[in-house]
Structure 1
Amino acid sequence: MHYGQAIFEGMKAYHVDDETIHLFRPKDHHQRLNNSAHRLCMPEVDEEVFIEGLEKLIALDHQWVPKVHGHALYVRPFMFASEEYLAAKVSKEYHFYVITSPVAAYYSEGFNPVKLTTSEKFVRAVRGGTGEAKAAGNYAASFLPAQKAQSKGYTQVIWLDALENRYIEEVGTMNIFFLIDDKLVTPKLSGSVLPGITRRSVIAIAKKWGVEVEERRVAIDEIIESYKEGKLQEVFGSGTAAVISPVGLIHHNDETIQLDQEKIGPFAKKMFATITGIQYGKIDDSFGWTHPISLG
């Protein structure tokens, strides 16, 4: 606890019918948990233990899975050091738990585009650090700059790279996408960006639609320039909580990008409908992402 060996995952379980609950990409979450564990010198969790544990827990908790479309059961696997020894060293003992909680729809009254701002003083992560791990300390370190951004009327911080303060990496709790001239552009995974499961899903679906996807370094100046030239069509984030979160405004230094601040764009809206349709079993899962849990 004192030395920061703590990791977690965020997942959801979805009501399909009275006989079936869906988990979304649990093996990907298991893999990412173990990647985080490796980075923090923690033991890996066996895949069978992880998957069967989720299946049994959700079967026991199935009455807590909301039946209203858009609502879900949030699932939080987490692990932390628990050795009874006070020293700055790798722990010899760890506890692994999974907790659950019903959650309502993220957008209760329709989509509300978020307002983002860069930070002049703070950085989220540096290449070679723990940015690509879902480590508890990453979130603790982001709270102060997030509070400062919110005090100025912004929703979250859009993080730039720590070395040049120029290249976009991610937003506080989500990965970020830009639709530019009908191309979907997103920052590449460079070691300081969390490899989002929803991010991976967005890229796969976009490619299936025939959309050109670019994973590369994305400079904030490039986004501002594409906006001024009328090439920036949509900006949205992706993550477990909201699935797709439209961005209505981005502020950087003395520049402001103002998109539609009232509603979600058509591309992001279609992406949201497709992912949630797969999660709730309303759309055929041609990717094999859903993991059904039978209650029969």
Structure 2
Amino acid sequence: MANAKAKTINLLLYEGNLSGVISIEDSSWNSGELYSAPRESVSDLLSTDACKKYGVYLLLSKDMVYVGQSSDLSQRINQHIVGKDWWESVVILTTKDDSLTHTDIDFLESVLIEKAKSIGKLDCDNKQKGNKPKVDKFREVYLGQYLEEALFLMQLIGITVFSDTKTTKTGTLISTIDINTKLAIGKRAKADAIEYLSENGISVDNSATYAVLQDDKSEFWANPQAELLKTDWTIILNDNHNMELIVLIVPANRMQMASLGKEGLYPRTDKQNLIDLKIDAESYKDKRSGIDFSAFIENRIKY
């Protein structure tokens, strides 16, 4: 017989695995809903009903978080695709019945900002924002319970950025998965890929472009900032079909963006400062520009 504290948790995996959009509901969470997606699947997330509601969103890397809120989550998150290049995944906290008010999301945002700031995980752009509004004592209890359950569910799927590393316990759904499986999952594994490369003597920083083999196994897709062409540009290709990480280094100013009379990499049609990079999985040529990236392969590491 289940005890009084038992709960059921429903996960909807939009791509059939942990690599795409996830929706979570919890029997102890009343009408609460959590959506999670890696950066590469943000467009899929923005097409869900979650982005039509009032809610709080979190831009996440392994060690940092940006907390925001909006009544138009789709537009706001889209702005951050261009404005911030460090984040690797996004979480949306909302409700099934769209019952959160503007004051509610102001309150939730402010509490999460304070929590992240207190343990040194808050993005620097976020530190002067998040004034806590006044809510009555009954609503504050409700919102406190809402956040408690949201933090529990985030930890369950491996999001520990709000946890003090000194006291965090292991044993979450994601932390119990070995690194080889995490890399095979692929889309949310940039931090794990960098860590794995480091363990194998290859130093790569977080500015590297990360692309996982697409579901049709024909190409690696990414939208890196065009500014990277001015630097020594590191690209990590995760071939999770052949269980291999491929590291490329393109020297600074070796490539350029296409323009009138000049051949080069193509920008996204809607965002000219982003490269529309589609590297063929066999030839390593960019499918749009025809540029051959195979000459820039530095390392291949099996996992």
TM-score w.r.t. length of structure 2 = 0.29
Relative contact order: is structure 1 or structure 2 higher (C-alpha 8 Å, sep ≥ 6)?
1
Structure number with bigger Rg: 2
Provide TM-score, normalisation by structure 1.
Answer: 0.29
* Larger fraction in strand: 1
